[in-house]
Amino acid sequence: MKWILLLSALFNYGYMLVDGLRGFIVGDYFRPQTGEYAGQLGPWSKVVSAVGIDPESGLMKSIFIVVGLLGLSIAVAFFRDVHAAKWAFLAISLISLFYLVPGTFLSVLQLILLGLLWRKMG
């Protein structure tokens, strides 16, 4: 189960990190190129706009980078059984629920797996 947690964290937080870096380097996030949502940001952009953050701002790109780096670091610490990493993993999974849709799915998966691991460990 720890491997699944680590892989989900690599996808979740790695993507956030790369997306934030791309925002700074290229000037824009990854966006769908085709389909109904072509050229649009994900639903997360409406969440951050509602709290007064411009989704395309340097602040938001920085938040993606920081959350991505933090999530990856916490996942590695958890995998290595670092003291209190399980609580940090819980916290970062809750924080990344806002990253609708892919981050939300992966964060829910992480929360379920953390709960199952803690239950198994007693």
The torsion angle over the Cα atoms of residues 23, 28, 29 and 31, rounded to 10 degrees, is -170
- Alpha-carbon 52 to chain mean position: 20
pLDDT of residue 21: 97
The token duo for 79 is 């995998």
Separation in Å, CA 44 to CA 7, 41, 80, 100: 22, 8, 31, 5
> Residue 100: how many CB atoms within 10 A of its CB?
14
Local confidence pLDDT in tens for the 122 residues of the chain: 889 999 999 999 999 999 999 999 999 999 988 988 888 998 889 999 999 999 999 999 999 999 999 999 999 999 999 999 999 999 999 999 988 877 889 999 999 999 998 888 76
The label of the residue with tokens 């938001």 reads 60
- The span from the CA of 19 to the CA of 12, in Å, is 11
* 44, 98 contact by CB (below 8 A): yes
Residue boundaries of the structural domains of the chain = 2-121
pLDDT of residue 101: 77
pLDDT of residue 72: 97
pLDDT of residue 89: 95
